[in-house]
Amino acid sequence: MKKIKKADVKKFLGDLKKEHEVFAPVDEDGVVEFKRLSKKDEPTLDYVNSVVSPKGFFLPMKEKILGFREANDKIELIDEHEVGGRVLFGIRPCDVNGLLVLDNVAREEYMDPYYLERRQKTILIALECVKPGVDCFCRVFGSGPGLEMGADLVYTDIGDYFLVRVGSDKGAKLLSGSDYFVEASDADEKKAAKLVDECAKKMSNVESSKLKLDLEKIRDKGSWCLNCYSCTFICPTCYCFDVVDRMNPKGCEGQRIRCWDSCMNPQFTLMAGNFNPRNKKVDRFVNRIRHKLEYMRDRYGVFGCVGCGRCVRECPSHISMLEIIQEGVR
Amino acid sequence: MSAEIQDALRSEARKLLEEGKVDKILGYCMSGDRVVPCMVYAADEVDKLIYNNRCKINLARYLRECDGRVGVVAKGCDSRAIVELLKAKQLDRSDLFIWGVSCPGMVDSEGRQYRSCSVCTHRNPVVYDGFLGKLVEEKPRLKDDELGLGSRDERMSYWSKQFSRCISCMACRNVCPMCYCKECVLEKKDPEWVARGGDISDIFVYHAIKAMHMAGRCVECGECERACPVDIPLMHLYSRVCRDVEQLFGVEAGMDENDKPPLSVFDLEADAILEENEKNKKS
Ligand code: SF4
Ligand code: SF4
Ligand code: SF4
Ligand code: SF4
Ligand code: SF4
């Protein structure tokens, strides 16, 4: 294993920028979001996690998936997706696991070429957690605070240095060409493992394998849900989208756009004839919870929640996913 | 003070439920270490009810969706929202029993006062059937120029930066006690006024519409900006348009059930509404 001096991280990122677009968490007026690093940006590496999950780098809030044009009685289609090489630096273990969840969805039956291309062309440099946020509960799903797989490099804060573990060939290549990395000692490795372990111990733990949802309690909580889309939009594993066509005023040229949608939206399940199978607010809430904690588990063998705590932190009604899980395990 | 209010609230709530004067009580309780809204149906449950400086949630938002006779706890902003909802015929006064409580100014889990609370000028409730605790002193309101943000260009660049973070999650709308429309222009699909998957200009349109719809109606509870995951200081916009409406039509939102809501009563003569509201104030 290797390590890098904290002071050298910026230089390392500077080198990466020569060949890739580099994104890292940046604190702007108290809001931490992944941002393409410019010269003056200082990456924030002691953050809990970004307000909005970095899933948007793979499944953007909106993306053109197709252009179309009609000319001389012919219809021309323009393939719109094109992505360059990118590096996401400082992504948290829960969010890496969030991507592993999304991979299942993108690969099931119909491949999602837009998502998968971005995945393939993006290098993930993860940052393990040594201090849990107030609402973090990744320990429940084993999706943090340490990271086993899913990233190309894994950093751990051990004081003056970051310990650096290689997770893939791509990751190894980044190291081999760089002068900033030195050999880490056994003590460094032990220290990192201890810090991550202590971090985990500060978090709630329930045995998710014993989960059996208490639907009555969930409905009760759901009665306070305001059906906004905050929890679904900021969640690293929510992937629902809508597809819309935008035409120019003459109607002979346009774009097909895919944008985030939310199961909390009453129109999400609205059908022709005005029938809506999930007509009530609380039904939509129950669906969201069951999708994450039951349907995805049954379908892909992984929970659709990675315990990032975002929805707990931001819910205007203060509904807690962790509490729902705890009530389902007791 | 909050502890006294909490005790008084519990005993009053018990009494009202026992006497059968209300079917349920909408208030605050703890869930883990979070303060959440809650409904109490039976006299032996009233000890769940709490009141302290973490009770920032505007209960009027949930009151809108209650049926039956409800007892409700109302700080300044909750009570103003109730007034505004009464004016808009969204609530029936005879269904409500309101316990007015004065507000110490709410703080977040780390003890920092919310921005909306730090500029609040109505900490005491404006309407109630019973009052618990003591009145607190009101603060002077911000001057008009303190609400502005400099020149037009400066405002444009300020809000462009803020709105560029918006993820259109609708939390600011859904949490707002005043956004009760069955169908909302912000996400109507046919016709689609605000484009889904649009660009920053659509986000501007979204916020311009929301601000216009808050004109003369925002009660400055700050729930929208607290709900906003990316911390856009939304209330600022709404306070600004409300100030304009006040100057034009002589009415501050959420103060008096008998005020004419200026943008809902149709009268070509703005002055006529102003006069009527002035008359109402005097009587
Ligand atoms: S953030 Fe909270 S209120 Fe909004 S939809 Fe999610 S659970 Fe409901
Ligand atoms: S459901 Fe909530 S805690 Fe779980 S992954 Fe999504 S945002 Fe994070
Ligand atoms: S716009 Fe915001 S501050 Fe005004 S009433 Fe609605 S939630 Fe409260
Ligand atoms: S934004 Fe306007 S249309 Fe939408 S709910 Fe609020 S007041 Fe109604
Ligand atoms: S709550 Fe914030 S992010 Fe969500 S729509 Fe409103 S302004 Fe945008």
Summarised one tens digit per residue, pLDDT across range A88-138 is 999 999 999 999 999 999 999 999 999 999 999 999 999 999 999 999 999
Separation of alpha carbons A217 and A230, rounded Å: 22
Query: Which residues, in sequence order, are CB contacts of A149 under 8 Å at separation 6+?
Result: A100, A167
Cα–Cα nearest to A314, from A122, A50, A113: A50
Distance from CA of A54 to the nearest CA of B (A): 13
CA dihedral sign of residues B260, B261, B262, B264: negative
3-state helix, strand, coil in chain B (%, to 5): 40, 10, 45
What DSSP designation does B107 have?
A: B
Cα–Cα nearest to B204, from B169, B160, B170: B160
Query: In this structure, are residues A130 and A136 in contact, taking their beta carbons and an 8 Å threshold?
Result: no
Block residue for tokens 């201090």: A131
In which band, very low, low, confident or very high, does the pLDDT at B268 lie, cut at 50, 70 and 90?
Answer: low
Poorest-confidence range of A218-232, B136-150, B167-181?
A: B136-150
What is the β-pairing status of strands A62-71 and A153-157? unpaired
CB contact, 8 Å: B94 with chain A? no
CB contact, 8 Å: A202 with chain B? no
Residue nearest to atom 3 of ligand 4 (CA): B184
| Position A59, amino acid | L
Supply A309's token pair.
Answer: 């705590």
Q: Which ipTM score applies to this complex?
A: 0.94
Give residue A278's pLDDT: 94
Distance from CA of B61 to the nearest CA of A (A): 9
Block residue for tokens 């949802």: A213
The rounded Å distance from CA B264 to ligand 4 centre is 13
Separation of alpha carbons A148 and B198, rounded Å: 38
Give the residue from chain A lying closest to B62, CA to CA. A224
Separation of alpha carbons B63 and B57, rounded Å: 12
Q: Which helix (H) or strand (E) holds B158?
A: helix B152-163
Separation of alpha carbons B105 and A329, rounded Å: 38
Q: Phi, psi at residue A77, to the nearest 5°?
A: -105, 135
Give residue B2's pLDDT: 85
pTM: predicted TM-score of the whole model, two decimal places: 0.95
Give residue B274's pLDDT: 77
In which band, very low, low, confident or very high, does the pLDDT at B270 lie, cut at 50, 70 and 90?
Answer: low
Ramachandran sector of residue B170 (left: φ over 0; alpha: ψ -120 to 50; beta: rest)? left
Q: Phi, psi at residue A194, to the nearest 5°?
A: -65, -45
The rounded Å distance from CA B176 to ligand 4 centre is 9
Please list the pLDDT of chain A residue by residue as tens digits (330 residues): 999 999 999 999 999 999 999 999 999 988 999 999 998 899 999 999 999 999 999 999 999 999 999 888 899 998 877 778 999 999 999 999 999 999 999 999 999 999 999 999 999 999 999 999 999 999 999 999 999 999 999 999 999 999 999 999 999 999 987 899 999 999 999 999 999 999 999 999 999 999 999 999 999 999 999 999 999 999 999 999 999 998 888 878 999 999 999 999 998 999 989 899 999 999 999 999 999 999 999 999 999 999 999 999 999 999 999 999 999 997
* Coil, strand or helix at A36: strand
Percent of chain B scoring above 90 in pLDDT: 76
Burial bucket for residue B40 (CB in 10 Å: 0-12, 13-18, 19+): buried
Give residue B266's pLDDT: 67
Give residue B272's pLDDT: 74
Block residue for tokens 């305001």: A226
Nearest to B227 among A230, A260, A267 (CB): A230
| Position A261, amino acid | D
The rounded Å distance from CA A57 to ligand 5 centre is 19
- Ligand 4 touching residue B181 (CB < 6 A): yes
Residue nearest to atom 2 of ligand 2 (CA): A311
Give residue B54's pLDDT: 96
Q: In what order do the strands lie in the sheet with A74-79?
A: A74-79, A62-71, A253-260, A241-247
Most confident of B228-232, B239-243, B267-271: B228-232
Is B32–A33 a contact, with Cβ atoms under 8 angstroms apart?
no
- Chain B residues with CB-CB distance to A267 below 8 A: 187, 189
Mean pLDDT, range B124-137, rounded to an integer: 95
Give residue A33's pLDDT: 96
Residue nearest to atom 1 of ligand 1 (CA): A315
User: What per-residue string of b and e applies to B115-127 under the rule 16 or more CB within 10 Å gives b?
Assistant: ebbebbebbbbbb
Separation of alpha carbons A173 and B254, rounded Å: 64
Give residue B196's pLDDT: 85
Separation of alpha carbons A63 and A66, rounded Å: 9
State yes or no: pLDDT of B249 exceeds 90.
no
Poorest-confidence range of B13-22, B86-95, B258-267?
A: B258-267
Separation of alpha carbons A127 and A96, rounded Å: 10
Mean pLDDT, range B222-246, rounded to an integer: 95
What is the β-pairing status of strands A253-260 and A62-71? antiparallel
Q: Which residues 221-250 of B have a C-beta within 8 angstroms of A?
A: 223, 226-227, 229-231
Mutate to test the interface with B, among A314, A321, A325 (most CBs of B within 10 A): A314
